[in-house]
Chains A and B, each alone.
Chain A
Amino acid sequence: MRIKAVIFRIILLIAFSEGIIAAQSGKNEYLSNQFLQSTLSAKLHLSKQHFKLCQGVQTIGDNSYWLWSVFNSTAIQDSGYWYNSSQHNNLSSSYKLLLYHAIVRANADNCSLNNAILKYADAQDYYAWNKTYDNLISELKAGKPMTITADTSFVERNATETFNERIVIKTTFDHLAIFSSYPLSQTDTLNSELKSYNPWFTPCFLTEAYENIDNRMLSPEDWECAFNSSGYLTGITIALIVVDKGTIAITVSCNTGETTTLTQITSPIMLGVLVSGIKEYMR
């Protein structure tokens, strides 16, 4: 087995058996990873635009604090296929900024700004989501196995040479789960862990702030700062794609040889993350 790195060349795309992949403008990414993301999106029936591949081996934590930190991160997700793991921008904090910037009016709406503020303040700086780490493990154990085999062929050209390339992906997972969760908006007295957390999120407030009909909730300037393409609240983490036990084998072959990268998974890892733009989230 030999790996031929399919990098640093201009790619001429001819045909793929599993959807279309294309070199990203201005970048020279690794086509095997791009093909993996494309294949997984298709097999899992996830939007290719919203499914972001984790880099390396993103092992999972062991408690809800870790889980909620991942859901709380709202890094901007660009048009690429990699997950941005930064936790420097938090939904709970951005939401607070929206509450603070909301316009105070004497005539009350159905969605009370004051109730939203009181609910947020009542969380006392502990921001939970509506599912816990135990839920994640339960869903993962119940997750079905999945086997994927996919291949694609294409021609690569540089100034002087032409290469016929082929990428083959073979993955097997004993368990796979698409684990979604939402900011805690209601008290959950039935969940042994969640019952000790106060809800902090008022969905109707975020809806009204985003829709901002007649600029009633936010000034146009504050709306832009939050929701425009370079705003602080443009993407939300809505699900984690988690797998347990399995392998990912990626074989790249061309005129000069064939090589394989083999990843053997023995404990749960995050394969990817499903993120949503704020516009889709509000719909």
Chain B
Amino acid sequence: MSKVNDDMQRLTALWYNTMVAGLHLSDQSFQLYQGPNTLITDDQLMWNIFNAVPPKAINNYYNPSQVNNFTGNYGLILGALVATPDTSFKSCLGDDYYNAWQTYFKDYRQKHVEADLTNAKTISNIFTNWAIVNAPEKVSCVAGLTKTCINPINIANIMYSSVDAAAGGSYAWNNTLENLKKALASGATIDFELDSSDKNISTTHSWAGGNVSVLFNIFSFNGSGKYDDVSYKTTSEGFHITAHFGKVTTFTAGPYTQHDAQDPTLKDFPAWYNSAALSLAYTNGEKVWSTEKGKVTWNDMFGPNGHLQRMVSSLVVADDITIIMKSEIDYTSSELTEIQAAAKAGVWPFFQAEVSGGITNKVDIDEKGRFTCTTTIPAGHPQILGILQSPMSTIF
């Protein structure tokens, strides 16, 4: 690995461990968020983040048009599930009673075209009235009829397909940006200090097993070889971090399961998700999956290299942030010049910050040649610090 790559990994790991330790997060679920929009501006953008399937790494550069997403995978799974015909009603009644009922019911439908025969209570009443007269010992078989009204695969398909017609293809989550703003306003204040050094550069203990995405457009040092030397020296020898988060919240949302008629945003979106279908797909092995060519399989989705390994459960968002990094070592004057120049363009971990989001970076140098870098993000510029991911195996 190149020295630059190595520097990027060290910085990323250091920031990851700082966040986990200081904000009371689990290294078994937290993932650093990096992306073009650390400031969420609308519901769809927020839902897109919840929708993305996180890769196995302690950090992820979020791609707004990420191909591997939850709703797409869920749709593929629905298309591959087999709705096995339910024969419990016929088995319960026996052939003679079943044929008699079929004859009666056919006649009933012709005479009562107005009856809602998809309604469980209606169909229960029709059968019960017939059975009391014609098959009194079979009255309880009615459950075989009514349970067709709650067929999870059928319902899941209807709900999922409702999105195209009603919401222009937009899949909602059950929480909104407005609620995130409220949550952040009610968030707690967290202050902490931390010494960085080589000993907390490792992330092998984390859920991602030490995988770090190296993303130059985020942790960029302007390609300066000299500054790479400075960054390596800094991360090797360590520095002291003092952090103030004026408001912090862990904001949770799930796929939209129940319609929320009271919410001014969600009332316009159809509920599209039915976890029973995913439960069925995940826990029943291959028996509920179609063997038809071209359909996805259990292994395609949930196997070792499957598309749906984990899901985003929560966002960790903060506002009113001050991060002070104080070097513990001496720098030469030329190194300090490099650091000051880099600070103008944005300092780790908030590169490009001064361009957007109201972030400022300030570097002070003391008489011993040590620097203190203060990054300030004023209140009103909330930042997504990371996400909490939940592996499939911990959900179903």
* Chain A residues within 8 Å of B, Cβ to Cβ: 1-5, 7-9, 27-30, 33, 36, 53-63, 65-66, 69-70, 72-73, 75-76, 78, 80, 82, 84-90, 92-94, 96-97, 99-100, 102-108, 112-114, 117-118, 120-122, 125-127, 225-226, 230-233, 259-269
Contact, CB under 8 Å: B192 / A125: no
Contact, CB under 8 Å: B150 / A65: no
Contact, CB under 8 Å: A121 / B250: no
Closest to B185 in A: A267
Contact, CB under 8 Å: B282 / A232: yes
Contact, CB under 8 Å: B23 / A56: yes
Contact, CB under 8 Å: B394 / A78: yes
- Which of the listed residues B26, B192, B195, B200 has the most CB atoms from chain A within 10 Å of its own CB? B26
CA distance A103 to B91 in the complex (A): 10
Closest to B19 in A: A56
Contact, CB under 8 Å: B143 / A114: yes
- Which of the listed residues B143, B149, B257, B282 has the most CB atoms from chain A within 10 Å of its own CB? B143
State the Cβ distance, A200 to closest chain B Cβ, in Å.
11
What 3 A-B pairs come out closest when comparing CB atoms? A87-B254, A267-B186, A232-B279
CA distance A232 to B250 in the complex (A): 25
Chain B interface residue bracket vs A: 35 or more
Stretch of B99-107, B175-183, B291-299, B363-371 on the interface side: B175-183
Contact, CB under 8 Å: B395 / A121: no
Interface 0/1 of B135-155, CB less than 8 Å to A: 001111111101101111000
Contact of B395 among A65, A88, A97, A226 (CB under 8 A): A88
Contact, CB under 8 Å: B140 / A106: yes
Contact, CB under 8 Å: B140 / A75: no
Check B189 for interface membership: any CB of A closer than 8 A.
yes
Contact, CB under 8 Å: B193 / A106: no
CA distance A81 to B192 in the complex (A): 22
Interface 0/1 of B25-36, CB less than 8 Å to A: 111111000000
State the Cβ distance, A259 to closest chain B Cβ, in Å.
5
Contact, CB under 8 Å: B143 / A94: no
Check B388 for interface membership: any CB of A closer than 8 A.
yes
CA distance A37 to B195 in the complex (A): 24
Give 28 CB contacts A-B under 8 Å.
Answer: A28-B27, A55-B388, A56-B24, A56-B316, A57-B250, A59-B184, A59-B186, A66-B179, A75-B395, A84-B390, A84-B395, A88-B275, A89-B396, A93-B274, A97-B279, A104-B141, A106-B137, A114-B140, A114-B142, A117-B143, A120-B150, A127-B258, A230-B393, A259-B193, A260-B193, A261-B21, A266-B186, A267-B185
Question: Given A118-B146, A261-B192, are A125 and B248 neighbors across the interface (CB < 8 Å)?
Answer: no
Question: Given A89-B279, A99-B150, A121-B121, are A65 and B260 neighbors across the interface (CB < 8 Å)?
Answer: yes
State the Cβ distance, A113 to closest chain B Cβ, in Å.
4
Interface 0/1 of B99-141, CB less than 8 Å to A: 0000000000000000000011100100000000000011111
Contact, CB under 8 Å: B29 / A82: yes
CA distance A87 to B394 in the complex (A): 11
CA distance A117 to B127 in the complex (A): 15
Contact, CB under 8 Å: B187 / A59: yes
Contact, CB under 8 Å: B280 / A59: no
Question: Given A56-B25, A88-B278, A117-B146, are A126 and B258 neighbors across the interface (CB < 8 Å)?
Answer: yes
Q: Which residues of B contact A112 (CB under 8 A)?
A: 140, 143
Question: Given A57-B249, A88-B255, are A259 and B194 neighbors across the interface (CB < 8 Å)?
Answer: yes
State the Cβ distance, A233 to closest chain B Cβ, in Å.
8
Contact, CB under 8 Å: B271 / A263: no
CB contacts under 8 Å to A, within B280-321, are 280, 282-284, 311, 313-314, 316
Contact of A93 among B137, B191, B276 (CB under 8 A): B276
State the Cβ distance, A19 to closest chain B Cβ, in Å.
19
CA distance A2 to B194 in the complex (A): 6
Closest to B263 in A: A65
Contact, CB under 8 Å: B257 / A30: no
